[in-house]
Amino acid sequence: MNKNKITPFELTTLTFFLFNSFLFTTGIQRLAKQNNTDSVLSILIGFLLLFLFFQLIKGIYQFHQKQDILGKIEILFPKTKLLIFFLLIIILFTHLIYSIHQISTFINYYILKEAKLIIITVTLLLTILYICKKGIISIVKLSEICFYLYLFLFIITILGTLKYLNLENIKPLLTSTIEDNTKSSLLYFSSLIIPFFLIAMLPKEELSQKKKYEQAITKGIRYSSLICFLELLITISILGIQLTKIYLYPEMIVYKKISFLNILEHLETTLAFSQILNSLFIIVFSLWSLHEIIKKVIPLKKEKENISYSLLILLLIFAGTLLTIPHRYFLMENIIILILLVLIRLKIHYSQTYPADSN
């Protein structure tokens, strides 16, 4: 097997982490606030929406398989490509600021209470920079290793929380209005559009088994939705809907309860690593993608990549510690990407139906 190619399972694990970023970017609390106990169902409806959307935009991945999405944009929108790239740079940059701020404040609040926010941000970004610099193959391979680690931590969480589960707390179900159900399902769906774009940064050609490209992505989405569903179910059934709604990261309160035979206690910091993994890959992949877009706008020599990455990291350190991007802007960014992906899909459809016109 070619070591420079991505295996379908590696793509599945990367997709899994990108879509699992929901637990961090939007989080269980926002979903529970929107739809109370019915938020458990919102994830199921949201998953169906994600699946349908993937079927809709599948054509993008199949079009010019050797090209990543940037190459496809260049082919489809030769006149407006620069404008689109600028838009993408702004979106990914703000998305990075949002994600970095979220993860740094999480670490600061729950794990490193004494450390200054900037120290956490710098350390985190240096790690991310190191991963990015290793290139996409290393990122994907790392995601596979982290997937096993994530599963291990998740199994520990499930085993540790079994005795606290109280399914009475999930009741009553099916009590929300159609409006609330729609809103919360859309909240789940609209938080996960950027991952679709990020996956499209990987050309189909990079995969060792091209035929399994779409299948690998759907598997990743399925696993991630399952994990989100279980996390929400466990959290609400242990804490109850009222407590789930008041904590920003109710999962941490659940982790605090875990102990094995009264010997293994205080595991929350270790288990919180799974939360960090949820956000790490979206940040790494967004930064790598952002750098790729910048390279399209400003052609850079291989030797200058260090400088461009360093400048990006410096900008992110300052912006990440100084700016706070509200969640609604994060959702707006996702919706803009949604519109862009739909436009690309329509243009592909148009160019395939009327090849002469598109030229």
The span of 226-234, 237-245, 314-322, 336-344 binding another protein (CB under 8 A) equals 237-245
Name which of 230 and 243 has its Cβ closer to another protein. 243
Query: Interface with another protein by CB under 8 A: which range of 86-94, 116-124, 139-147, 313-321?
Result: 116-124
Residue recorded with tokens 């949820």: 278
Single residue of 183, 212, 222, 256 touching another protein by CB under 8 A: 256
Binding segment toward another protein, per CB under 8 A, in 198-206, 239-247, 284-292, 296-304 = 239-247
Figure out which of the listed residues 177, 215, 242, 358 binds another protein, where binding follows CB under 8 A.
Answer: 242
Stretch that binds another protein, among 97-105, 216-224, 236-244, 318-326 (CB under 8 A): 236-244
Single-letter code of the amino acid located at 173: L
Number of residues this chain uses to bind another protein (CB under 8 A): 26
What single-letter DSSP state applies at residue 203?
Answer: -
**What whole-number distance in Å separates Cα of residue 117 and Cα of residue 109?**
10
Question: Which amino acid is located at 163 in the chain?
Answer: K
Under rule CB under 8 A, residue 113 binds another protein: yes
Q: How far apart are CA 320 and CA 124, in angstroms?
A: 11
Structure tokens at 300: 């850079």
Binding of residue 239 to another protein (CB under 8 A): yes
Polymer length in residues for the chain? 359
Residue from 48, 80, 82, 116 in contact with another protein (CB under 8 A): 116
Collapsed DSSP state (helix, strand, coil) of residue 207:
strand
Dihedral of alpha carbons 181, 183, 188, 190, sign: positive
Contact call for residue 311 and another protein (CB under 8 A): no
Residues 6+ apart with CB under 8 A from 83: none
Separation of CA 125 from chain center: 17
Residue type, 140: V
The residues binding another protein (CB under 8 A) are 109-110, 112-116, 119, 122-123, 126-127, 168, 171-172, 175, 239-240, 242-243, 246-247, 253, 256-257, 266
